[in-house]
Structure 1
Amino acid sequence: MNKSDLVRSIARSAHISKDAAERGLNGLLATLAVAMQEGKRVTLSGFGSFSVVDRAPRTGRNPKTGEAVPIPSRRVVKFRPGRELAVKVE
């Protein structure tokens, strides 16, 4: 499912226009991004939680040559599904 499919599904299930559904989805995504940029954890009850974690620097390998390649530290988004979502996906 891509973003336009999601907008169409939201509009259908909420009985609103596609424009309103897209504005709502864009607002949600922007709010999530700002919260995570600030280092906050975002929890959506029944769905899951998003958080930002720091990955330590490490050494990887170039698969073609086998040469060691340094991988710098970085911040990444981590998603942990909620119990209800995990049960639905099983």
Structure 2
Amino acid sequence: MVEAGTLTRADLADAVHRDIGVSRADAARMVESVLAHMCQALSEGENVKISGFGSFVLRDKGERVGRNPKTGVEVPIAPRRVLTFRASQMMRDRIVQAG
């Protein structure tokens, strides 16, 4: 596991290599395959739920009026689709215990 900083694809592949015992190349392909499936599902408008981890949920945000904080001028913000992540209760509990 990574001590501090950011967990990368390479870190995930290394963990798969160590924990499962497959070659580094196979581990990297497995990680890429999982991420590709997740990206494909999200791009097709599907939400992604990983039990015990959390859910990646697409939300449509309507048009709204924003304000430029520097000038105070109101500016319309176009409607858009955003991706949100909601951690599962199990993940939240683990994070609280680790902190």
TM-score interval for Structure 1 and Structure 2 normalised by the shorter chain: 0.7 to 0.9
In 1, Cα distance between equivalents of 2:68 and 2:27: 44
Is residue 2:19 matched to residue 1:13?
yes
User: TM (normalized to structure 1)?
Assistant: 0.84
Stretches of 4+ aligned residues off by more than 3 angstroms: none
Is residue 2:54 matched to residue 1:54?
no
User: TM (normalized to structure 2)?
Assistant: 0.78
Counting aligned pairs with the same residue, the percent is: 39
C-alpha deviation, 1:21, in angstroms: 1.6
Residue identity in the other structure for 1:38: E
8 A contact 2:55–2:85 mirrored in 1: yes
Look up the SS of the partner of 1:50 in the other structure. strand
- Aligned residue pairs total 90
In 2, Cα distance between equivalents of 1:62 and 1:11: 49
In 2, Cα distance between equivalents of 1:70 and 1:86: 36
Question: Can you give the 5+ residue segments of structure 1 that lack an aligned partner in the other structure?
Answer: none
In 1, Cα distance between equivalents of 2:52 and 2:80: 29
